[in-house]
Structure 1
Amino acid sequence: MDSLITRLTRSTQFLATLLLVCIVAINTANVIGRYVFSSPIGWAEEVMLYFLIGAVFLTFVRITRDAAHVRMDMLVRAMPRRFQIALETAVDAITLSVCLTAAYAGAPIVMKLIEFDQRSDSSHIPMALPQGVIPFGFSCAALVLAVGIAARIRRGDASDIDSRHK
């Protein structure tokens, strides 16, 4: 299961990186078009926004796996080890429930967008794509959290917590 999570994390991180590279390329082309040729790319802003949304929610998987969220853990680190493990597991369980709720709430919206074939104004991108990456990112993060919690319970230790907080 660890190899699945590793492949999932690497794949989503690669796609997020690719989207960011595309944003830079589109923005560069748009700046050149606007200021050199007085002809901006009409769909550039819209596509860059959708790519940024995709990059954020695809990167969410890696951030979740590495526990790289912004957090204040000074007090947690000062607690006895047993409390650290319990608290980290509780936080992961709460985060898992939030991820599952967001994915569950977002999926029907994406299905409606597919059903109605709703498209963006300037680029005519199916709106299910930028909207679909949100429940997809939450679903992948939920999988990462569920596997991590199960492994921690099965092992009876928190070696993953130590590796995530380095």
Structure 2
Amino acid sequence: MLLVVVTCLNLTQVIGRYVFSTGFNWTEELMRYLMIWLMMLGSVACIFRAEHMAVETLETRVDPAKARLVKSALYTVAAIFCVFVLVYGWPLALRNAAQVAPASGIPMIYPYMALPVGAALMLVQIALSWVVGFEPDQTTDDREGAS
């Protein structure tokens, strides 16, 4: 849905610039903030579906029995990074609560909250991956492919 909104904003900016000979400053700013949210929420989805970028070279070079340990170590590094983003991103967002975006006029706490919210959701998904497993459920993928 966020990608559809960003696309509509981009089209609005292009139409405004070439049809009406005027650009809408707020569309570019709002697109930037929505893309930050899109990236952070998309990262959570990638962890859920095990489609995120990974260092697969490490997994393929070890014994298949130890590949789960390597993947767990990689998820641990990602979790540590998410903790840092959460710990430093939350106060940063709160410090910018009174600031307002120059073109769109939205409070800057909304773009800044993308980092701690996304990091917290990624931590939850990483924890679920440790409990349930690191690969997506194959039966779900098989059912989706048959539809």
Q: Normalised by the size of structure 1, how large is the TM-score?
A: 0.76
Matched, 1:112 2:95: yes
One-letter amino acid of the structure 2 residue matched with residue 44 of structure 1: T
**TM-superposed deviation, 1:103:** 0.6
* Equivalent of residue 63 in structure 1, options 37, 46, 62: 46
Gaps of 5+ in 2: 142-147
State the Cα deviation string for residues 32-90 of structure 1 (Å, max 9, x = none). Answer: 11111112212111111111111111111011222322234145235322210111111
**Which consecutive residues of structure 1, in runs of 5 or more, have no partner in the other structure?**
1-17, 153-159
3-state SS of 2:125 partner: helix
Aligned to 1:156: none
Cα 1:81–1:55 shift into 2, 3 Å: same
CA distance in 2, matches of 1:49, 1:78: 40
* 1:75-114 → structure 2 map (5 Å cutoff): 75-114=58-97
| 2:147 corresponds to 1:147 | no
Asked whether the equivalents of residues 67 and 164 of structure 1 are also in contact (C-alpha less than 8 Å), the reply is no
SS class of match (2:15): helix
Q: Which residue of 2 aligns with 1:23?
A: 6
- Work out the number of aligned pairs and report it: 139
| Contact kept? 2:83, 2:123, Cα under 8 Å | yes
Task: Give 1 or 2: higher helix fraction.
Answer: 1
The runs of at least 4 consecutive aligned structure 1 residues that moved more than 3 Å come to 161-166
Q: Percent identity?
A: 26
Q: Check whether the contact 1:99–1:139 (CA below 8 A) recurs between aligned residues.
A: yes
Work out the CA distance in 2 between the residues paired with 1:75 and 1:92: 13
1:122 aligns with 2:103: yes
Q: Which residue of 2 aligns with 1:157?
A: none
